[in-house]
Amino acid sequence: MRFRLAKLSEISGQSLVEMAIVLPVLLVLAFGIFDVSRAIQANNIIINMSREGASLASRSQVAPQDIMNSLAATAQPLSMSTNGAIYITQVTKVSGVPTIQLPQNVWRSTTDNNLQSRISQGNISNVLGSITMQEGDSVYVSEVIYNFNFTFNSYSPYLYSVTIL
């Protein structure tokens, strides 16, 4: 039995066809992984911003507006100035009811109506969840909302994080 060796031109032509079929699939997967990785990074950044905002508001004497300005400045690579909002709210239990202490501290430089505070929309109990407060107790609620834009898709989810201290 004799085997015939393939010519070099036959092998390179076959490889070229295989690459033409597989390369678009690999590129779509790579771009999808890239975009999902960016979304995960953005979500982690806003979670950390929310935690740090509540922590600073509850244990320091720094003005909430200064805290929010600092948080927004350190949010790179996110563009908080065009796609984000930060809220720091003090909630105190008065006459058995959690009440927002006005004014609510707001940092936003956009007019996107979807970047509204969820606690100021009458959902104080929903945001506080199972937290029990005694009469006169106060907690700080830090909310960060960001409109994330995917690079290769027109879908733009709103990422939201809330921390209560």
| Tens of pLDDT, residues 40-51 | 999 999 999 999
9 pLDDT more than 90: no
For the chain, percent of residues with pLDDT exceeding 70: 93
Q: Are 49 and 160 in contact (CB under 8 A)?
A: no
What is the DSSP secondary-structure string of 68-80? HHHHHHT-TTS-H
Q: Kindly state the DSSP code that residue 90 receives in the 8-state scheme.
A: E
| Tens of pLDDT, residues 83-98 | 999 999 999 999 888 8
Question: Pick from 100, 97, 165, 102: which is nearest to 135 by CA?
Answer: 97
